[in-house]
Structure 1
């Protein structure tokens, strides 16, 4: 199983790694990955690997077998050998935009407390689909609430609970389409705010900013009808 460095420190931009495997398709597996693997609506990270005598651009990262993270090269080039020691260089600007949007979507799930049926994170924009037969009555008030959360500069932190504890508290799961990562015996929770100022706590395996003030101004985009019971709410982060 690949060690997930992005969970230890979402702000880390470089890290060493050892190549422990190569896939038939030309993917690279390291013992520890700085790159988030595509999942939960969040795209995989990109960047670059370098080693003595070579380097290769990484287009994305995906989940492999048995908990591995596979780095996908941007183009066919000579790969580092198994056992090689490499340096991982993260495309930080792209990662940080994903972090800001992902945390903004958690705030959206607070401002619009309805079951979430889907979602997608991009670099600068994102969306959530809600079980919502009718559109929200006051769009401007919802946007103002989102930006009030940003202005409050609330801390964003993590906790861990067992899978049994999650099963005993199913209300923590807001998403109907994506279930929290399981299999390791424990589940990561992302908390926004603390104490009496806590506004959100939900399972999540993605990367987030450390405080809501880092998100910047949030603007609501289109609210689309995606079926009889579903509405898609788009947002943009300046």
Structure 2
């Protein structure tokens, strides 16, 4: 089981670790700062640094799967092509330093936090999302038209207000008693441990509160200039909002 250090601190850029398992498709570590693809957010890229100075480039991060294809508690660091010789040198117990591509992760954090601001500005259920280093999108289950400039101005105001962003937790029972906290129709909150991780934006003025396992900045001011680049009518009941950096 991989200890997911990024859950408690999204700003950790590296950590020491040991190899638990290795295969042709990737490396499992005992602990990591790499976020695996999930909840609409892309997996991290970066490097695994070996004691002898060798560097294994990680192109993607995924949740490992069991023999029946079900996700496990292990996190798989997927190497870039052409590194089979270096991959073959790794063994269980090999010491490495796991180091994420920090500029790429920070873009993901900024976009992911902005999608939570959009949930405040567009108070409708979400039925799809994608958060990449280059753009993000949310699909809202709604029929009313949206205004591109108004949404961009709304995001800018929430960024300028410098609202704190905090990681919290609620119990499964508390979530069951407050189903409105779940904004997404397509991604289920991470359950199973009895405690569900939450993201809260705002202190006395609550901007957004919902279950989320992704990485975020700690203050909306860190988002910077993010704008709505496109609005699309994807279906009779779906309006897509696409975000980009200004």
Normalising by structure 2, what TM-score?
A: 0.92
Q: Which runs of 5+ in 1 are unaligned?
A: none
The 2-side partners of 1:231 and 1:26 are apart by 37
User: 2:19 matched to which residue of 1?
Assistant: 19
Structure 2 gap segments, 5+ residues each:
66-71
* Cα distance in 1 between the residues matched to 2:133 and 2:185: 24
Partner of 1:152: 161
Contact 2:148 2:231 in 1 (8 A): no
1:222 is matched with 230
Equivalences for 1:133-144 in 2 at 5 Å?
133-136=143-146, 138-144=147-153
Equivalent residue for 1:67, pick from 60, 64, 73: 73
SS in structure 1 at match of 2:105: helix
RMSD across aligned positions (CA): 1.2
The 8 Å contact of residues 125 and 140 in structure 2, kept in 1 or not, is answered as: yes
Which position in structure 2 is the counterpart of 1:50? 49
Q: 2 CA distance for matches of 1:232 and 1:179?
A: 20
Q: TM-score, normalised by structure 1?
A: 0.95
Are the counterparts in 2 of residues 100 and 237 from structure 1 also a CA contact under 8 Å? no
| Secondary structure, aligned partner of 2:235 | coil
Corresponding residue number in structure 1 for 2:128: 118
Deviates more, 1:73-82 or 1:88-97: 73-82
Structure 1 residue 114: deviation in Å?
A: 0.6
Deviation at 1:22, TM superposition (A): 1.6
- Number of residue equivalences: 235
Stretch deviating more after TM superposition (96-105 or 25-34) = 25-34
- Tell me the residue number matched to 2:69: none
Q: Runs (4+) of structure 1 moved beyond 3 Å?
A: none
Structure 1 partner of 2:244: 236
Instruction: Name the CA distance, whole Å, in 2 between partners of 1:101 and 1:237.
Output: 9
* Secondary structure, counterpart of 1:68 in structure 2: strand
